[in-house]
Structure 1
Amino acid sequence: MKSLRIGLVDLDTSHPGSFVPILRAFGHEVTGVYDKGEIHPPGYAEQFASEHGVGKVFASLEEMAGQVDLAFIHSCDWDVHADRALPFIQAGKSVFIDKPLAGNVRDLRRFREWAERGAVITGGSALRYAQEVREWAGKSASTDPFVYALAGCGNDDYYYGIHAFTMLHGLLGPGIESARHLGSSGQDQYELTWTDGRRGIVNVGATAKHHPFYATMITQAEATHIQVDGSRLYESMLEQVLPYLCGEAPAPVAMETLIETELAAIAAKSSKAQGGRPVALRSLTPEQIGYDGAAFARDYRERKASSTGMR
Structure 2
Amino acid sequence: MTVLKIGLVDLDTSHPGSFVPILRKLGHEVAAVYDGGIINPEGYAAKFAQDQGIATVCESVADMVDRVDIALIHSCDWDIHIERARPFVEAGKAVFLDKPIAGNVRDLNQIVQWVKDGARITGGSSLRSCNEVREWRTQDVPAEEWVYALAGCAVDEFNYGIHAYSMLHGLMGPGVRQVRYIGGSAESQRQYELMWEDGRRGVVSVGKTSGYLPFYANVVTQKRVDYIKVNNGNLYQSLLETVLPYLAGSAPADIAIEQLVEVELAAIAAKLSFEQGGATIALNEIPESYAGYDGAVFAKSYKELKYPSAK
| TM-score relative to the length of structure 2 | 0.97
Aligned to 1:33: 33
Deviations 1:60-101 (A, max 9, x none): 111100111000000000000111000000000010000000
> Are the equivalent residues in 2 in contact too, given 1:154–1:161 (CA < 8 A)?
yes
Which residue identity is paired with 1:4?
Answer: L
Deviations 1:1-39 (A, max 9, x none): 311111000000000000000001111110110000010
In structure 2, distance between residues paired with 1:160 and 1:55:
32
Aligned to 2:48: 48
Are 2:220 and 1:242 aligned?
Answer: no
> Are the equivalent residues in 2 in contact too, given 1:151–1:203 (CA < 8 A)?
yes
Cα root mean square deviation, aligned: 1.2
> Are the equivalent residues in 2 in contact too, given 1:144–1:219 (CA < 8 A)?
no
Aligned to 1:176: 176
> Are the equivalent residues in 1 in contact too, given 2:128–2:167 (CA < 8 A)?
yes
Deviations 1:205-230 (A, max 9, x none): 01121110000000000111000101
> Are the equivalent residues in 2 in contact too, given 1:128–1:170 (CA < 8 A)?
yes
> Are the equivalent residues in 1 in contact too, given 2:180–2:273 (CA < 8 A)?
yes
Aligned to 1:87: 87
In structure 2, distance between residues paired with 1:98 and 1:15:
9
Matched ranges for 1:137-148 at <5 A: 137-141=137-141, 145-148=145-148
Which residue identity is paired with 2:217?
Answer: A
- SS in structure 2 opposite 1:139? coil
In structure 1, distance between residues paired with 2:146 and 2:214:
24
Which residue identity is paired with 2:160?
Answer: Y
Aligned to 2:153: 153
Structure 1 residues 153 and 283, CA gap change in structure 2 (3 angstroms): same
> What is the CA distance between 1:254 and its match in structure 2?
1.1
Which residue identity is paired with 2:234?
Answer: R
> What is the CA distance between 1:142 and its match in structure 2?
5.2
In structure 1, distance between residues paired with 2:248 and 2:2:
7
In structure 2, distance between residues paired with 1:140 and 1:172:
10
> Are the equivalent residues in 1 in contact too, given 2:143–2:198 (CA < 8 A)?
no
Deviations 1:165-191 (A, max 9, x none): 010011001111100000106300000
> Are the equivalent residues in 1 in contact too, given 2:9–2:34 (CA < 8 A)?
yes
> What is the CA distance between 1:294 and its match in structure 2?
0.3
Aligned to 2:291: 289
- From 259, 270, 273, the counterpart of 1:271: 273
> What is the CA distance between 1:284 and its match in structure 2?
1.1
In structure 1, distance between residues paired with 2:72 and 2:51:
19
> What is the CA distance between 1:286 and its match in structure 2?
1.3
Which residue identity is paired with 1:156?
Answer: D
Q: Percent identity?
A: 57
Deviations 1:139-176 (A, max 9, x none): 13458701011000000000000000010011001111
- SS in structure 2 opposite 1:201? strand
> Are the equivalent residues in 2 in contact too, given 1:144–1:221 (CA < 8 A)?
no
In structure 2, distance between residues paired with 1:19 and 1:144:
40
Question: What runs of 5+ residues in structure 2 fail to find an aligned partner?
Answer: none
- SS in structure 1 opposite 2:212? coil
Aligned to 1:62: 62
Aligned to 1:20: 20
- From 218, 229, 232, the counterpart of 2:231: 229
- SS in structure 2 opposite 1:89? helix
In structure 2, distance between residues paired with 1:183 and 1:289:
22
In structure 1, distance between residues paired with 2:109 and 2:144:
35
In structure 2, distance between residues paired with 1:87 and 1:235:
27
Question: What runs of 5+ residues in structure 1 fail to find an aligned partner?
Answer: none
In structure 2, distance between residues paired with 1:251 and 1:301:
33
